[in-house]
């Protein structure tokens, strides 16, 4: 089952890639007949094959993609293109796609075939986006480096000795290496924004409940969101306005109207921007990232925006709060994997109790088991009040503090990650050091607010740096417009 | 000397030797304890073991997982490190703070109660590792 990992080529291998034309200009090209959709899909498949050593895709649906491309090429002649015609999309292995396997990159869901499509996926398919395959990730989204996958680690296409970030690492590398235009990932504590930063992409985590979670394999239900990885903010906005909004299959999804984000990408206000000195002075922050973030803040100030330092002493409590709560929710959510109804079942068991234990122990990866056990600990009778309830109280403090900041400011700007992409294997023995990679991304997840990571230069090794912008709940329209403005400004 | 300890320690970790690990812990507690301080981890303080072996086995039983002797030392160390690190939350005074139990901001969203086609038996059973006519098949429940 475990995919053998190919030895990495010594030289960087991104030159042999057939670059994809950006989706924003693609439809015009298709209609002019300058390019065909079949050609686009062929390029994607070529890049997937060329980049197999990156380990970004777990399953590729090549024939289906080619067929759909042929259909779209026929539509081009009628001059009436559906909104997403020509867009090639990859799915993180946590999103269900009808009649296709999905496995959460874990052994425990071996052989599972989805009976329905996730609402977000279905909405893309309805607009004729082409689903090209399922992408590697950390098992159940639990990890920050994409090393905790049952299918081996994913490699960063810019430097194959380094991680792409996680947990949506395969999804980020797929966009980075021109294997698809867009990836749908999931972001529970930074799993879309952090890989976007490590791979030099745009990564959006929308407001909690903006996009239906139906068909997303649950990790921590009060944190999970579907996120978008793309090259441009325009593409990200195009996808968001299609997949967001009410859904009969998710009772928690918001019924607020979905704005036409692509029509509101122009930002001409004077922005009130807050930043946290406590984040910039953190001892774990790489100096190059500090310098780059500071430079961006200075640029904003010079461009006439209001940029002010704001106290956020709760930052150091965000990570522990996050891990207590997500582990608790994970221990409950992952109870459903018992070997009875689907997925892997241990063949060694004689009794049913034995079957549960052996199936779960053999099926779940090490990090998943660690999180289930920690979650069980904080939820157990003797510790519930002191750990779980305490973390819920701190969650409220953090959420209210951020809301208070947004009463005065439009955006909060901070780095996406404390370091740029680190070496594969650097933290696999030390879970706590690994958790630190999410330091700056968890506050938005705790508060359920939207947050985007955009490229902000590179460090001394040429590795991409991410800049994170957070906005108040349901402020995606302003957030995307401001991010677009920043991209042009930087 | 330090190097020797480190090497022995890593070896104890990697082979999962409970005995070697515990004896090392007893002799060099300072070197083996981690203390998190705002994200900078130094091996300076003794790690307080909040989770011992009996509790770990109890948790494993509750979570329907098996923790064998081989994995025990690594898991004990990791879990205690995580719990010790999360202890930081206790510094904050949260008296009178209402726990945040849901992220939903909209309540009482109703929809029409219209019957829909259920998942067909064949489809529901299609993913089962073992089945028998219309049922999921499991090993015997009674001894």
Question: DSSP letter string over B58-89?
Answer: HHHHHTT----TTTHHHHHHHHHHHHHHHGGG
Would the pLDDT of A49 be above 70? yes
Q: What is the pLDDT of residue B55?
A: 94
Return the closest-CA partner of residue B9 out of B43, B42, B32, B26. B32
Q: Write out chain A residues lying below 8 Å of B76, CB-based.
A: none
Would the pLDDT of B39 be above 80? no
Whether residues B123 and A115 touch (CB distance < 8 A) is answered with yes
How confident is residue B29, by pLDDT bands cut at 50, 70 and 90? very low
Interface membership of B134 toward A (CB under 8 Å)? no
Q: Write out chain B residues lying below 8 Å of A396, CB-based.
A: 97-100
Is residue A230 annotated as a catalytic residue, yes or no?
no
Q: Write out chain A residues lying below 8 Å of B91, CB-based.
A: 317
Q: Write out chain A residues lying below 8 Å of B123, CB-based.
A: 115
Average pLDDT over residues A224-235: 98
Q: What is the pLDDT of residue B5?
A: 47
Interface membership of B100 toward A (CB under 8 Å)? yes
> Which of B81, B85, B111 has the CB atom closest to A248's CB atom?
B111
Is residue A92 annotated as a catalytic residue, yes or no?
yes
Q: What is the pLDDT of residue B47?
A: 65
Q: State which residue of chain A sits closest to B75, comparing Cα positions.
A: A370
Interface membership of B129 toward A (CB under 8 Å)? yes
Average pLDDT over residues A205-233: 98
How confident is residue B108, by pLDDT bands cut at 50, 70 and 90? confident
Q: What is the pLDDT of residue B98?
A: 97
pLDDT digits (tens, 9 = 90+) for A255-311: 999 999 999 999 999 999 999 999 999 999 999 999 999 999 999 999 999 999 999
Interface membership of B43 toward A (CB under 8 Å)? no
Whether residues B94 and A209 touch (CB distance < 8 A) is answered with no
Interface membership of B117 toward A (CB under 8 Å)? no
Would the pLDDT of B25 be above 70? no
Interface membership of B120 toward A (CB under 8 Å)? no
Whether residues A111 and B100 touch (CB distance < 8 A) is answered with no
How confident is residue B43, by pLDDT bands cut at 50, 70 and 90? very low
In terms of pLDDT, which residue wins out, A8 or A75?
A75
Angstroms from B27 CA to nearest CA on chain A: 22
Looking at domain A14-264, its CATH class is: alpha beta
Would the pLDDT of B74 be above 70? yes
pLDDT digits (tens, 9 = 90+) for A79-112: 788 999 999 999 999 999 999 999 999 999 999 9
Whether residues A436 and B39 touch (CB distance < 8 A) is answered with yes
Q: State which residue of chain A sits closest to B68, comparing Cα positions.
A: A361
Q: State which residue of chain B sits closest to A440, comparing Cα positions.
A: B39
Q: What is the pLDDT of residue A134?
A: 98
Interface A:B, Cβ pairs < 8 A? 173
Q: What is the pLDDT of residue A136?
A: 98
- Show which of residues 71-90 on chain B sit within 8 Å of chain A, judged by CB atoms: 75, 78-79, 81-83, 85-90
Average pLDDT over residues A340-362: 94
Q: State which residue of chain B sits closest to A279, comparing Cα positions.
A: B38
A135 with A179: CB under 8 angstroms?
no
Q: Write out chain B residues lying below 8 Å of A442, CB-based.
A: none
- List the single best residue of A208, A343, A344, A376 to mutate versus B (max B Cβ within 10 A): A376
Question: Which SS3 state, helix, strand or coil, does residue B135 take?
Answer: strand
pLDDT digits (tens, 9 = 90+) for A131-166: 999 999 999 999 999 999 999 999 999 999 999 999
In terms of pLDDT, which residue wins out, A284 or B10?
A284
Q: What is the pLDDT of residue A77?
A: 83
> Which of B41, B126, B138 has the CB atom closest to A433's CB atom?
B41
pLDDT digits (tens, 9 = 90+) for A428-457: 888 888 999 999 999 999 999 999 999 999
Q: What is the pLDDT of residue A79?
A: 72
Percent of chain B scored above 70 by pLDDT? 66
Average pLDDT over residues A189-217: 98
Average pLDDT over residues B120-135: 93
Q: Write out chain A residues lying below 8 Å of B90, CB-based.
A: 386, 390
Would the pLDDT of B44 be above 60? no
Q: What is the pLDDT of residue B17?
A: 47
In terms of pLDDT, which residue wins out, B111 or A359?
A359
Average pLDDT over residues B48-59: 90
Would the pLDDT of A219 be above 50? yes
Q: What is the pLDDT of residue A301?
A: 97
- Show which of residues 14-33 on chain B sit within 8 Å of chain A, judged by CB atoms: none
Q: What is the pLDDT of residue B36?
A: 37
Would the pLDDT of B94 be above 70? yes
Question: The pTM is what?
Answer: 0.90
State the average pLDDT for chain B.
76
Would the pLDDT of A168 be above 60? yes
> Which of B36, B97, B105 has the CB atom closest to A432's CB atom?
B36
How confident is residue A414, by pLDDT bands cut at 50, 70 and 90? very high
Q: What is the pLDDT of residue A15?
A: 60
Whether residues A342 and B127 touch (CB distance < 8 A) is answered with yes
Active-site entry in A106, A144, A191, A453:
A191
Q: Can you tell me the ipTM of this complex?
A: 0.89
Q: What is the pLDDT of residue A14?
A: 56
Is residue A222 annotated as a catalytic residue, yes or no?
no
Domain ranges for chain A, please list them. Answer: 14-264
Would the pLDDT of A372 be above 90? yes
pLDDT digits (tens, 9 = 90+) for A235-262: 999 999 999 999 999 999 999 999 999 9
In terms of pLDDT, which residue wins out, B33 or A354?
A354
Would the pLDDT of B20 be above 60? no
Whether residues A320 and B85 touch (CB distance < 8 A) is answered with yes
Would the pLDDT of B58 be above 50? yes
Average pLDDT over residues B118-141: 92
């Amino acid at each position: 089952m475990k995919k053998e990992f190919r030895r990495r080529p010594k030289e960087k291998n991104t030159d042999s890639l057939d670059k994809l034309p950006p989706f924003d200009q693609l439809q015009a090209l298709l209609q002019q007949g300058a390019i065909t959709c079949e050609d686009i899909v062929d390029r994607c498949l070529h890049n997937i094959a060329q980049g197999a050593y990156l380990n970004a895709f777990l399953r590729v649906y090549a024939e289906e993609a080619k067929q759909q491309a042929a259909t779209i090429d026929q539509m081009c002649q009628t001059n009436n293109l559906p909104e997403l015609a020509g867009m090639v999309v990859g799915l993180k292995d946590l999103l269900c796609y009808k009649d296709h396997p999905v496995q959460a990159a874990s052994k425990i869901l071996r052989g599972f075939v989805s009976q329905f499509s996730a609402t977000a996926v279905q909405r893309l398919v309805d607009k004729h986006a082409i689903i090209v395959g399922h992408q590697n990730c950390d098992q159940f989204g639990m990890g920050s480096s994409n090393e905790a996958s049952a299918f081996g680690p994913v490699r960063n296409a810019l430097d194959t000795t380094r991680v792409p970030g996680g947990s949506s690492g395969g999804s980020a590398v797929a966009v980075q290496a021109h294997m698809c235009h867009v990836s749908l990932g999931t972001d529970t504590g930074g799993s879309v924004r952090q890989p976007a930063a490590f791979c030099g992409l745009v990564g959006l985590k929308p407001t909690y409940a903006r996009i239906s979670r139906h068909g997303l394999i649950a990790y921590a239900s009060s944190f999970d969101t579907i996120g978008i990885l793309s090259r441009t903010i325009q593409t990200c906005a195009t996808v968001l306005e299609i997949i967001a909004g009410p859904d009969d299959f998710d009772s928690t999804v918001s019924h607020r109207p979905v704005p036409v984000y692509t029509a509101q990408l122009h930002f001409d206000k004077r922005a009130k921007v807050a930043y946290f000195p406590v984040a910039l002075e953190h001892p774990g922050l790489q100096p190059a990232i500090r310098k780059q973030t500071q430079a961006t803040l200075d640029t904003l100030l010079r461009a006439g925006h209001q940029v002010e330092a704001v106290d956020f002493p709760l930052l150091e409590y965000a990570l522990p709060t996050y891990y207590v709560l997500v582990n608790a929710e994970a221990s409950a959510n992952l109870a459903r994997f018992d070997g009875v109804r689907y997925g892997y079942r241990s063949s060694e068991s004689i009794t049913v109790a034995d079957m549960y234990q052996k199936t779960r122990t053999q099926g779940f990866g090490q990090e998943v088991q660690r999180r289930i056990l920690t979650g069980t600990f904080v939820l157990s009778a003797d510790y519930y009040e002191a750990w779980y309830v305490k973390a819920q109280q701190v969650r409220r403090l953090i959420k209210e503090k951020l809301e208070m900041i947004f009463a005065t400011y439009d955006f909060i700007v901070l780095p996406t990650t404390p370091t740029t992409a680190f070496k594969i294997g650097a933290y696999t023995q030390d879970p706590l050091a690994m958790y630190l990679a999410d330091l700056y991304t968890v506050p938005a997840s705790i508060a359920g607010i939207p947050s985007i990571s955009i490229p902000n230069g590179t460090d001394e090794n040429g590795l991409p740096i991410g800049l994170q912008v957070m906005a108040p709940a349901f402020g995606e329209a302003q957030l995307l417009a401001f991010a677009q403005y920043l991209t042009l400004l930087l | 000397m330090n190097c020797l300890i480190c090497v022995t320690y890593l070896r104890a970790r990697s082979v999962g030797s409970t005995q070697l690990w515990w004896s090392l812990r007893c002799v060099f507690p300072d070197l083996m304890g981690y203390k998190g301080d705002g994200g900078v981890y130094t091996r300076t303080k003794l790690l307080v073991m909040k989770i011992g072996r009996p509790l770990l086995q109890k948790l494993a039983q509750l979570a329907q997982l098996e923790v064998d002797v081989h994995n025990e030392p690594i898991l004990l160390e990791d879990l205690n490190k995580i719990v010790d690190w999360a202890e930081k939350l206790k510094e904050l005074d949260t008296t009178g703070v209402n726990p945040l139990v849901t992220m939903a901001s909209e309540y009482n969203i109703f929809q029409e109660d219209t019957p829909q086609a259920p998942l067909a038996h064949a489809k529901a059973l299609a993913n089962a590792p073992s089945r028998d006519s219309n049922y999921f098949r499991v090993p015997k429940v009674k001894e």
